[in-house]
Each structure stands twice: as C-alpha cells, then as structure tokens.
A and B are shown apart, each in its own frame.
Chain A
C-alpha cells in the first residue's frame, strides 16, 4: 500500500538558517509526490511536485525537494528560512484509485521560524 511518513511533527529554525522537512514514502510503483503548505486559516497551496522527471524539483518561495528512490525519501529543503515560511507542511503521495488519482497525506510538519 502507498503511504507517506513525515518524520518530524514540529521543526523550529531561526530566520536565515536552512530548513529540512523530512518525508519518506512507500509505493509499489513510481509515485507522484507533492509538498503542500497550509498557512493558518488558509487553504492548502501546492509548493512543488515530482512526477518522474528530474529528481531535484524546484518549487515556489525558494523551496526544493529531491526524490531519492534508493532511500524512498522526498525531503523538502530551503537554504534560508523566512518568517513567512512558518506554516504546516504536508508531504503527499498520489495513488491510482479507479479512474482517478487519490492523494494520501502525511500527518504534517509544523514549521516554526524564530526571529
């Protein structure tokens, strides 16, 4: 069965330092993987997605993620955190279910950015 595991429920960084949010996936075939961000009282926004093209995926707001098949990982990184990055981040795998793809969400990682 397909699933995602977000290894940290909370991550706290200082402004200007690097961000690493970890995600491991389980899939019986080559998956489509996504990172979404959810700011307080706002909807989910797509940060980036991997669909079997380049393994290093660049997203919005300076975020990127690297697909590593050997490690079944899809960690999200950013070189320098900004206060506006404080939000909840969800790693998501897309699975085929009937005639459509379904999204399986991780439990989320809450990112806090300290001044």
Chain B
C-alpha cells in the first residue's frame, strides 16, 4: 500500500473561488505528478516535479499551478475555479530509476458550480 495522501477527497465549490488541492507522500520520493481524469476517460499529466523547487508543465494544458517547497508536499492551486475545471485530480510519486513506478493517491473529485 502506497503512502500518498490527497485532501480533500471531494470538493464542491462556486465559480471564482481559489482552491488548493493537497498531496503528500511519506515515501521520500523525489518525483511527484498531477494528473487530470475526466469521467470515463484516461489520465492526462498536467504537472510534475523532479524535486524541491522544480516544477514542469505536463502534456495537457492546465490553468492550475503547483509548488514544491518540501519533498513530501506537492499542492495544486486554482486561482479562480470555473465549471470547466470540474474533474478528478490524481497525485502520484515515484523514485528515480527502477522503471520509475508511479504510486497514486486516492484522488480529489472537484465540482465547480
């Protein structure tokens, strides 16, 4: 069982609000990732990080931003939520090398009204 946590698990919020989705891992993994998954669809990478103070944009364009101030913490922020941001957001982490298996958190289901 992977030790990677996401909060909140579910969030319903109004348009225009600022939100932060939390992701923490206790495995000492240097790499962390955020994926977006629409219902019934595959996952798409939106952000990743090699380590502290490194962040990169993924393959799917996203209006969200991320930060990596501590190894174990990789929060995702939306400055002004819109209904188009409604989706599931999955956080993952991995060690470098060894096939870089990614371990996933339980996800945050976001609904923007």
Contact = CB atoms under 8 A, between A and B. Distances in A.
Interface string B31-53: 10100000011111100101000
B101 A34 contact: yes
B48 A46 contact: no
Interface residues of B, number: 28
Most buried by B among A32, A46, A101, A108: A101
B3 to A, nearest CB: 12
A43 to B, nearest CB: 4
B99 A98 contact: no
Interface residues of A, number: 22
A44 B90 contact: yes
B100 interface: yes
19 contacts: A32-B100, A34-B101, A36-B104, A43-B6, A43-B107, A44-B90, A44-B92, A46-B101, A94-B100, A99-B50, A100-B31, A100-B100, A102-B45, A102-B58, A103-B43, A103-B102, A107-B41, A108-B40, A108-B41
B106 A94 contact: no
A45 B40 CA distance: 17
Nearest to A36: B104
Contacts of B99: 32, 49, 51, 94, 101
A45 B107 CA distance: 12
Contacts of A99: 50
B42 A43 contact: no
Interface in A57-113: 90, 94, 98-103, 105-108
Interface in B58-83: 58-59
B42 A44 contact: no
